[in-house]
């Protein structure tokens, strides 16, 4: 696939993978992207997952058509991109590796080699000329590993964005970009919003026509849309108006309260109501929803003097990613000593700019008539 006249895509699709990073469900597979710039000097951008080494090297050889690459640009050392560095360097023994100093440290940890005699260590805004293409390197520490850099090609106005602007899903499957890019972002990069904001600030000074990520499709049109979403996500802004209800229920009574609240929200004119049963849904999608919408309702039972395990896990997923700037409603259930609301508040204590929406609704085993009125009142407040 030609990205431009000189930039060729040589990535691979993975439909054998069930869990990305051992935890994220990828029903439509995964793409591991790699690129080549053909100029007076030839640069290869990143490798692919180890299971696709031969396929990738064959694609590279076909693209080179007898030529030899001069540089291997290593933007990210996570193994789904770096696993074939050694095989590449053995295949092309005269190639120079280009990466950050921290990347070479991690390279030695993985492979026992840091190519001290065949490398260029680059820093922020260092450049490398290939001929008519001049590459500028921008360091991006903690987006989402400490060694990461991205690369800008001034000739074709291309940003090679490492894991930035990536998404779940192989490239031979058509699906909505935002849904799987959002789940990918908040699952993998979401903790590092401040670092992403810094990188976006640096990128704003560049004239970008194409974004080439290490996962997902090459982005060529309507770049303002993708950049705008990344700005919203990384600044913890509200992307869509609506209410997300995340709940756990043991015998169905908390679930009944949630269903009642959802109906009351719709009756009150709430633009969007999304309900996630944390024991059964994809946890990553529940996290994605919590960051997408501006209002979150947490409904759970008291369990061993604490809260139900799936709810505790969900709150941990949110807080470790810097959850903030949201409105929170709470429904708790307890037959003799309800403490769920107290525990939820304690777990959210370190989060910034969260507003508790009253009333907190307390069920005693099952929904009462009074609870029905409280849920109606809560719906009215949530829809304000």
Distances (CA, A) of 214 to 82, 95, 109, 147, 285: 11, 21, 22, 15, 22
Q: Which CATH architecture has domain 7-234?
A: 4-Layer Sandwich (3.60)
Residues paired with residue 19 on neighbouring β-strands, in sequence order = 25
List all residues 6 or more positions away from 146 whose beta carbon is below 8 Å from its beta carbon: 102
Residue 61 has pLDDT above 90, yes or no: yes
Quote the CA–CA distance of 383 and 241 in Å, as a whole number.
10
Residues 98-126 pLDDT 10s: 999 999 999 999 999 999 999 999 999 99
The DSSP output letter for 51 is: G
Cβ–Cβ under 8 Å, residues 75 and 161: no
Rounded percentage of the chain residues whose pLDDT exceeds 70: 100
What is the average per-residue pLDDT within 77-97? 98
Q: What is the pLDDT of residue 1?
A: 82
Per-residue pLDDT reduced to its tens digit, 316-333: 999 999 999 999 999 999
At residue 315, the pLDDT reads 98
Handedness of CA 19, 20, 21, 24 (dihedral sign): negative
Give the predicted TM-score (pTM) of the model: 0.93
- For residues 257 and 375, is the Cβ–Cβ distance under 8 A? yes
**pLDDT over 90, % of the chain:** 99
Instruction: Output the six-digit token pair for 141.
Output: 């520490």
Q: How far is CA 126 from CA 147, 265, 358, in A?
A: 15, 54, 54
All residues at 6 or more sequence positions from 57 whose CB lies less than 8 Å from its CB, including other chains: 84, 87, 88, 91
How far is CA 106 from each of CA 22, 126, 167, rounded to the nearest angstrom? 21, 21, 24
What's the confidence (pLDDT) of residue 62? 98
- Reported as type and span, the H/E element at residue 290 is helix 283-292
Strand partners for 240: 293
- For every residue of 334-384, DSSP letters joined together read -SS---HHHHHHHHTTTSSSEEEPSPPEEEBSB--HHHHHHHHHHHHHHT-
The CA distance from 215 to 48, in Å, is 10
Question: What does the pLDDT look like over 216-244, one tens digit per residue?
Answer: 999 999 999 999 999 999 999 999 999 99
Compute φ and ψ for 299, nearest 5 degrees. -125, 120
Question: What's the pLDDT score for residue 321?
Answer: 96
CA dihedral 97→98→103→108, nearest 10 degrees, is 20
Query: Distance between CA 155 and CA 134 in Å, rounded?
Result: 7
- Dihedral angle computed from the Cα positions of residues 177, 179, 182 and 187, in that order, rounded to the nearest 10 degrees: -120
Confidence at residue 80, expressed as pLDDT on a 0 to 100 scale: 97
- For residue 147, report the phi and psi dihedrals to the nearest 5 degrees: -95, 0
Strands 306-307, 293-303: pairing is: antiparallel
Task: Fill in the DSSP letter of residue 279.
Answer: T
Question: φ, ψ for residue 326 (rounded to 5)?
Answer: -135, 160
Per CATH, the number for 240-382 is 3.40.50.360
Average pLDDT over residues 354-368: 96
Q: Which of 48, 25, 27, 44 lies closest to 35, judged by CA?
A: 44
Is residue 84 scored above 90 in pLDDT? Answer: yes
pLDDT of residue 384: 85
Residue 116: CB atoms within 10 A of its CB come to 9
Tokens of 265: 């929200």
Instruction: Give pLDDT, residue 207.
Output: 97
Q: What is the pLDDT of residues 157-184, one digit of tens each?
A: 999 999 999 999 999 999 999 999 999 9
Using N-to-C axis directions, what is the helix angle for 177-184 and 283-292, rounded to 10°?
Answer: 100
- Domains of the chain by residue range: 7-234, 240-382
Measured distance CA(194)–CA(105) in Å, rounded: 24
| Euclidean distance between CA atoms 203 and 185, whole angstroms | 18
The H or E element containing residue 80 is helix 79-82
């Amino acid at each position: 696939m030609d990205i431009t006249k000189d930039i060729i895509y040589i990535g691979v699709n993975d439909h054998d993978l069930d869990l990305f990073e051992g935890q994220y469900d990828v029903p439509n597979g995964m793409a591991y992207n790699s690129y080549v710039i053909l100029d007076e000097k030839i640069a290869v951008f990143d490798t692919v997952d180890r299971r696709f080494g031969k396929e990738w090297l064959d694609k590279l050889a076909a693209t080179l058509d007898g030529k030899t690459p001069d540089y291997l640009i290593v933007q990210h050392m996570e193994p789904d991109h770096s696993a074939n560095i050694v095989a590449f360097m053995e295949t092309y023994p005269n190639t120079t590796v280009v990466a950050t100093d921290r990347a070479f440290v991690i390279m030695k940890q993985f492979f026992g080699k840091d190519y001290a005699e065949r490398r260029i260590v680059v820093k922020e805004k260092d450049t490398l000329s290939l001929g008519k293409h001049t590459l500028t390197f921008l360091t991006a520490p903690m987006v989402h590993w400490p060694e990461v850099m991205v690369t800008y090609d001034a000739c074709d106005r291309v940003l090679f964005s490492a894991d930035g602007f990536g998404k779940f899903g192989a490239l031979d499957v058509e699906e909505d970009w935002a849904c799987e890019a959002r789940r990918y972002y908040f699952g993998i990069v979401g903790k590092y919003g401040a670092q992403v904001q810094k990188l976006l600030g640096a990128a704003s000074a560049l004239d970008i026509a194409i974004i080439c990520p290490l996962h997902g499709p090459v982005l060529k049109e309507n770049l303002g849309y993708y950049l705008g979403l990344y700005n919203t996500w990384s600044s913890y802004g509200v992307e869509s108006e609506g209410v997300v209800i995340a709940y756990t229920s043991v015998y169905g009574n908390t679930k009944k309260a949630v269903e009642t609240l959802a109906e009351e929200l719709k009756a009150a004119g709430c633009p969007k109501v999304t309900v996630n049963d944390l024991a059964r849904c994809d946890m990553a999608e529940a996290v994605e929803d919590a960051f997408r919408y501006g209002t979150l309702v947490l409904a759970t039972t008291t369990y061993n003097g604490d809260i139900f395990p799936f709810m505790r896990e969900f709150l941990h997923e949110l807080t470790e990613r810097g959850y903030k700037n949201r409105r929170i409603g709470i429904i708790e259930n307890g037959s003799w000593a309800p403490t769920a609301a107290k525990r939820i508040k304690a777990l959210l204590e370190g989060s910034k700019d969260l507003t508790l929406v009253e009333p907190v609704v307390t069920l005693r085993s099952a929904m009462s008539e009074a609870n029905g009125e409280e849920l109606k009142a809560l719906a009215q407040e949530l829809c304000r």
